[in-house]
Homo-oligomer: A and B are copies of this chain.
Amino acid sequence: MRCEVLAVGTELLLGQIVDTNSAWIGEQLAASGIDSYEHRVVGDNQTRIVAALRDLLSRADAVVVCGGLGPTQDDLTRDAIAELMGVELVRRMDLAEHIAAMFRARLRDMPENNLRQADVPAGGDAIPNPLGTAPGLRCPVGDKVVYAVPGVPYEMQEMVTDHVIPDLLRRSGESACIVSRSLKTWGTSESALAEMIADRVDAQTNPTIAFLARGIEGLVVRITAKGATEDDARALVEKEERELRSVLGELVFGVDDETMEHAVLARLQARDWTLGVAESLTGGLIGARIVNVPGASDVFRGTIGAYATDVKRSLLGVTASSVVTEDAAREMAEGARRVLGADVGIAATGVAGPTEQDGVAVGTVCFGIALPGRPVESLSWRLPGDRERIRQFSTISLLNLLRQRLDGLPS
Contact = CB atoms under 8 A, between A and B. Distances in A.
A277 B36 CA distance: 49
Nearest to A307: B302
B292 A282 contact: no
A13 interface: yes
Interface string A39-80: 111110100100010010000000000000000000000000
Interface stretch (A19-27, A128-136, A162-170): A19-27
Assign chain A's interface to a size class.
35 or more
A284 interface: yes
Interface in A354-381: 354
Given A300-B307, A304-B302, A26 B14 contact: yes
A410 to B, nearest CB: 28
A252 to B, nearest CB: 19
A308 interface: yes
Contact of A284 (B39, B279, B297, B388): B279
A402 interface: no
A28 B16 CA distance: 11
Secondary structure of the A contact surface, majority rule: mixed
A311 B305 contact: no
Nearest to A222: B16
Given A13-B37, A48-B37, A283-B290, A308 B302 contact: yes
A288 interface: yes
A311 B341 contact: yes
B19 A23 contact: yes
B26 A12 contact: yes
A213 interface: yes
Q: Which one of A14, A15, A212 has the highest number of Cβ atoms from chain B below 10 Å of its Cβ?
A: A15
A27 B43 contact: no
Contacts of A30: 13-15
A18 interface: yes
Given A15-B25, A16-B213, A308-B300, A38 B40 contact: yes
**What are the nearest 5 A-B pairs in CB distance?**
A284-B284, A284-B287, A15-B27, A283-B291, A303-B305
30 contacts: A13-B39, A15-B23, A17-B213, A18-B20, A19-B23, A38-B41, A38-B48, A39-B41, A40-B41, A55-B55, A281-B291, A282-B288, A282-B291, A283-B284, A283-B290, A283-B300, A283-B303, A284-B303, A288-B288, A297-B307, A301-B308, A302-B304, A302-B306, A302-B307, A303-B307, A304-B305, A305-B305, A310-B341, A311-B340, A315-B340
